[in-house]
């Protein structure tokens, strides 16, 4: 059962107006919304195209747009533009992840809006921070390829993107962190500022440990499948009935425990294996030997021993299996939302909550992902528009 974080949430009373789509910008708004902000998603009358994505994009809108309100307007009309400017005049934050020229043509760029509202914090989510690359069109794949992450994930000669939108999601997180810093600064200065977060720079931050390895040692980092591990045992093992399990033994104390638990007295006494560094050097024969010794045991049996002995292990889990994960369900890590679009519109589905606790509780779902224009009457009415004017601004139907 989902529990809400203690009230008030830390950003209750903060109003965010967002012009976002896909993942990066919506993630920023989701974070601020989960933490209590009123987040208003401004959409065209036809709706955010992300609502209609199929395949791997089908989860984007319902995941990253909870705890938000939807305001559908045609910003290319004088009336729609006037309404959104009235709304921004009441806002603390504007968030966007469109091309710079798109926001400029609409008069919704930072330089224009700060004249309207000097206290406004404006966060832009881009492909690159200002510089030689900022004219390029970026995607998560683009920056993973040019930023070293695909090289590190794949085998040599076979770059492979990570299996999640890591830069989009983390870029949105860093955008939210920037907003938090700017809100704190505004308490002192009374003024807003522009915050920028970018996919490429986020990706570089993710691979910074490998860059630093070279800076410190002069040795380039090898792709992860070909890396020289820092640990003697740190691998996926294929075991009984074709199952797989990840097993790790990362200290000399753990090696002693491991050998005792499985009766490997000969390995414990082997003069070639007295320390972790020695075991790293002997991996070429040691790991195949362990694979052979463990191959007849089931993954469940190995997991039981490793858990009992406090050794690191992990089952090889598919993402959809996590919907039934006992830990996530016992700790309130999943919560129901009502789906706003598609064939299952109106039905409930579990969503993953923000991965932290406040005073021992997870920030919960206050609002399911909104239906298109769901909050037009509420938001426009609060700005002084009549029912007839709301209907006109909301378009046909």
Q: Which residues are catalytic?
A: 168
378/213 Cα distance (integer angstroms): 54
286/258 Cα distance (integer angstroms): 14
39/37 Cα distance (integer angstroms): 6
Query: Residue 132 in contact with residue 178, Cβ under 8 Å?
Result: no
Q: CB-based contacts of 387: which residues, under 8 Å, 6+ apart?
A: 377, 381
59/53 Cα distance (integer angstroms): 8
How many beta carbons lie within 10 A of that of residue 224, not counting itself? Answer: 14
91/40 Cα distance (integer angstroms): 10
Is the bond into 306 cis (omega within 30 degrees of 0)? Answer: no
Strand partners, 337: 349
Assigned token pair, 49: 């195209």
Strands 313-315 and 244-249, bridge-based pairing? antiparallel
Assigned token pair, 29: 């708004």
- Three-state secondary-structure class, residue 321: helix
Angle formed at CA 52 by CA 50 and CA 58, multiple of 5 degrees: 75
The kind and range of the H/E element at 332 are none
217/376 Cα distance (integer angstroms): 58
Assigned token pair, 150: 């695909």
């Amino acid at each position: 059962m989902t529990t809400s974080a203690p009230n008030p949430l830390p950003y209750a009373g903060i109003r965010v107006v967002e012009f976002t789509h896909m993942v990066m910008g919506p993630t920023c708004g989701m974070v601020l919304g989960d933490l209590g902000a009123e987040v208003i998603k401004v959409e065209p009358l036809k709706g955010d195209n992300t609502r209609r994505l199929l395949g791997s994009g089908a989860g984007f809108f319902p995941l990253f747009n909870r705890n938000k309100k939807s305001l559908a307007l045609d910003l290319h009309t004088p009336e729609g533009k006037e309404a959104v400017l009235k709304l921004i005049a009441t806002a603390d934050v504007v968030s966007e992840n469109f091309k710079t020229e798109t926001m400029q043509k609409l008069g919704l760029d930072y330089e224009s809006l700060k004249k309207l509202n000097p206290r406004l914090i404006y966060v832009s989510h881009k492909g690159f921070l200002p510089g030689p690359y900022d004219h390029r069109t970026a995607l998560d794949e683009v920056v993973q390829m040019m930023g070293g992450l695909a090289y590190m994930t794949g085998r040599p000669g076979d770059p492979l993107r990570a299996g999640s939108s890591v830069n989009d999601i983390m870029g949105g997180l860093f955008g939210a962190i920037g907003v938090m810093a700017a809100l704190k600064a505004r308490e002192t200065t009374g003024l807003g500022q522009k915050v920028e977060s970018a996919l490429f720079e986020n990706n570089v931050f993710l691979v910074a440990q490998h860059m630093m390895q070279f800076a410190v040692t002069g040795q380039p980092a090898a792709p992860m499948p070909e890396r020289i591990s820092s640990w003697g045992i740190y691998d996926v093992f294929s075991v009984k009935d074709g199952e797989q399990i990840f097993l790790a033994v990362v200290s000399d104390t753990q090696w002693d425990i491991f050998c005792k638990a499985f009766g490997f007295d000969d390995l414990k006494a082997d003069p070639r294996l007295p320390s972790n560094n020695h075991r790293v050097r002997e991996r070429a024969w040691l790991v195949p030997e362990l694979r052979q010794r463990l191959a007849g045991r089931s993954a469940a049996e190995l997991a039981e021993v490793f858990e009992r002995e406090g050794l690191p292990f992990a089952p090889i889990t598919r993402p959809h299996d996590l919907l039934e994960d006992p830990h996530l369900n016992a700790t309130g890590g999943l919560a129901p939302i009502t789906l706003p679009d598609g064939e299952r519109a109106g039905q409930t589905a579990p969503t993953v909550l923000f991965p932290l606790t406040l005073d021992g509780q997870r920030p919960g779902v206050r609002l399911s992902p909104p239906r298109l224009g769901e909050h037009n009457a509420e938001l426009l009415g609060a700005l002084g528009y009549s029912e007839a004017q709301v209907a006109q601004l909301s378009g046909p139907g």
